């Protein structure tokens, strides 16, 4: 009796357990089904949303649309810079450009100075003295420079001194034209001892094929025998024991009585070293044609001196207080050919 009751109780307990287990499985199955349905619905919703967004973006792309950009930050524009007025610059004086001269080029300083480029006319009538002075002043500053007196021109030049002692060395005076002395008494004042003078120079050369014409006939008639440093009249030896105090002179000139009593030397060098004169012709000097005074190292060659044979005291070459002098190949045809005073 007891054993049967126990079996029945056990069976009932097993049936209850099975019923309880099946109810739990059914509950779990229902809950799982609802979870899967909700998950599926959420997935479908998310997929539709993505598809909608994609199609909308694709549509905007084909219609030329662009992705919206965030609005730029608003910034205040920079204030414009106020430029200060430019400070006035000092005016620079531009030196006047001299006319073109031979020797310019490659940035080098000219060494050739043509008197025509300094205003000389060369017509034989216009006074070109200032042009010669300007050309010399420029050449004086340049070592081994050349002053050019060009051929085929006639230059009227008054008394002038091409002087140092601050000139550079080895200057060449290239004389190929003609230089005339003035026949008017005004440029000579009360009397001048030299017409063209080179003084206190080192290494001066006068060369070329040109002519220095002193036009001395007006001077010769006025004072035929008055020489400030040479009483030539005492050296005249009469042929018939008679001496005329003032013999007649064949030279005549319309300027008689107008020129000063002191007659100038045509070309004089004073106090200079290494002097060379070559090639030129000196003619019709009022007194001496070529004079060297207190010079050292003189060379004269292949030049000519000429004046009428009856022209008074027109020494060809006059040497005074000079030394180391060499003269050769020179033609002298004038009143006195050569005079040598206290020279070595």
| Residue 212, domain CATH | 2.160.20.10
Cα 49 from Cα 202, distance rounded (Å): 112
Q: What's the CA gap between 62 and 67, in Å, rounded?
A: 12
Which tokens go with 315? 């020494």
Q: Which residue has the higher pLDDT, 15 or 27?
A: 15
User: Residue 310 has what pLDDT?
Assistant: 82
The predicted structure's pLDDT at residue 90: 55
Is 246 a domain residue?
no
Asked, for residue 70, whether it belongs to a domain, the answer is no
User: Strand 202-207's sheet: what is its strand order?
Assistant: 112-114, 146-149, 171-175, 202-207, 273-278, 296-301, 323-328
pLDDT: is 21 or 83 the higher one?
21
Does pLDDT of 314 surpass 90?
A: no
C-beta neighbour count of 146 within 10 angstroms: 20
Inside any domain, residue 134:
yes
| pLDDT tier at 60, thresholds 50, 70, 90 | very low
Please report whether residue 142 resides in a domain: yes
Rounded to two decimals, the pTM is 0.61
Buried b (16+ CB within 10 A) or exposed e, 106-123: eeeebbbbbbbbbebbbe
Burial profile 251-285: b = 16 or more Cβ within 10 angstroms, e = fewer: bebeeeeebbebbbbbbbbbbbebbbbebbbbbbb
Among 292, 322, 328, CA closest to 198: 292
Are 300 and 290 in contact by the 8 Å Cβ rule? The answer is: yes
Q: What average pLDDT does the segment 234-238 reach?
A: 42
Greatest distance between any 2 Cα atoms in the chain:
222
- Whole-Å CA distances, 303 to 2, 237, 316, 337: 183, 31, 11, 13
Mean pLDDT along residues 101-121: 75
pLDDT at 258: 78
For residues 121-143, give the mean pLDDT. Answer: 96
Query: DSSP letter string over 237-269?
Result: --SSS---SS---S---TTTTTS-SSPPEEEEE
| Whole-number Å distance between alpha carbons of 333 and 306 | 5
Q: What is the mean pLDDT of residues 111-119?
A: 96
Q: Is residue 60 part of a domain?
A: no
Q: What is the rounded average pLDDT for all residues in the chain? A: 76
> Structural domain of residue 201, as residue ranges?
112-219+258-268+292-303+320-328
The answer to whether residue 164 is domain-embedded is yes
Q: Which of 157, 153, 151, 206 is nearest to 180 (CA)?
A: 157
Number of domains in the chain: 1
Mean pLDDT lowest for which of 47-61, 140-154, 253-267, 328-342? Answer: 47-61
The string of pLDDT tens digits covering residues 239-286 is 444 444 444 444 444 444 578 888 999 999 999 999 999 999 999 999
Q: Which helix (H) or strand (E) holds 6?
A: helix 2-62
Residue 105, domain member (yes or no): no
Answer yes or no: is 262 within a domain: yes
pLDDT score of 57 more than 90: no
Among 41-45, 90-94, 284-288, 302-306, where is mean pLDDT lowest?
90-94
Tokens of 230: 């040479």
């Amino acid at each position: 009796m007891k054993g049967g009751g126990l079996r029945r109780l056990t069976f009932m307990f097993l049936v209850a357990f099975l019923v309880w287990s099946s109810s739990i499985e059914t509950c779990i199955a229902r809950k799982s089904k609802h979870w899967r349905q909700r998950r599926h619905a959420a997935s479908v919703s998310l997929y539709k949303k993505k598809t909608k967004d994609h199609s909308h973006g694709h549509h905007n792309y084909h219609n030329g649309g662009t992705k919206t950009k965030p609005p730029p930050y608003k910034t205040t524009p920079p204030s414009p810079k106020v430029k200060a007025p430019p400070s006035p610059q000092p005016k620079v004086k531009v030196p006047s450009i001299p006319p073109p001269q031979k020797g310019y080029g490659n940035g080098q300083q000219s060494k050739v100075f043509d008197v025509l480029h300094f205003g000389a006319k060369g017509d034989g009538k216009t006074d070109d003295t200032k042009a010669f002075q300007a050309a010399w002043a420029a050449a004086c500053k340049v070592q081994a420079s050349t002053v050019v007196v060009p051929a085929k021109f006639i230059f009227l030049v008054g008394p002038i001194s091409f002087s140092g002692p601050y000139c550079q060395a080895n200057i060449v005076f290239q004389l190929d034209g003609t230089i005339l002395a003035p026949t008017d008494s005004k440029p000579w004042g009360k009397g001048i001892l030299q017409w063209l003078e080179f003084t206190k120079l080192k290494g001066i050369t006068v060369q070329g094929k040109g002519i220095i014409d002193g036009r001395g006939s007006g001077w010769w008639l006025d004072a035929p025998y008055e020489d400030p440093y040479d009483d030539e009249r005492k050296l005249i030896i009469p042929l018939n024991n008679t001496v005329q105090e003032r013999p007649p002179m064949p030279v005549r000139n319309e300027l008689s009585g107008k020129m000063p009593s002191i007659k100038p030397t045509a070309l004089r060098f004073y106090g200079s070293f290494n002097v060379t004169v070559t090639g030129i012709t000196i003619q019709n000097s009022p007194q001496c044609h070529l004079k060297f005074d207190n010079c050292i190292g003189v060379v004269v060659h292949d030049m000519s001196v000429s004046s009428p044979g009856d022209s008074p005291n027109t020494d060809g070459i006059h040497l005074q207080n000079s030394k180391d002098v060499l003269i050769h190949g020179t033609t002298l045809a004038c009143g006195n050919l050569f005079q040598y005073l206290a020279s070595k």
